[in-house]
Amino acid sequence: MELAEITKTVISLARKVDEKNITLTPESALVADLGLESVQIIEFLCEVEDHFDIVIGEDSLADVVTVSDLAELVYHLSREKKL
Partner 1 sequence: MSLLSNFELAESRKKQLEGLPINPTGVVLEKIVSPTEALINGKIVILAGTNNYLGLTFSKDCIDAGIRSLETQGTGTTGSRMANGTYSGHLELEREIAELYSMPYSMVFSTGYSANLGTMAALLDENNAVLIDSEAHASLFDGCRMSGAEVFRFKHNDPSSLEKRLQRLGERANSTLIIVEGLYSIRGDCAPLREFAELKESYNSYLLVDEAHSLGLYGRYGRGLADQLDILDKTDFIVGTFSKSLGTIGGFCVSKHPQLGLFKYSSRPYIFTASPSPAVIASTRSAIKLMKEGDHLRKNAWESARNLHGALESIGLDLHPIPSPVIGVSFQSEEVAIQFWNILLESGIYTNLILPPAAPGGGAVIRCSVTAAHSVEQINKIGACFKSIAKELGLSKAA
Residues that bind partner 1 (CB under 8 A): 37-40, 42-43, 45-46, 49-50, 53-59
Minimum Å gap between C-beta 4 and partner 1 is 24
Class of residue 29 by CB neighbours under 10 A (exposed 0-12, middle 13-18, buried 19+):
middle
Tell me the C-alpha distance between 33 and 22, whole Å.
8
Of 57 and 63, which CB lies nearer to partner 1 in the complex structure? 57
Minimum Å gap between C-beta 40 and partner 1 is 7
Minimum Å gap between C-beta 62 and partner 1 is 11
Tell me the C-alpha distance between 30 and 6, whole Å.
16
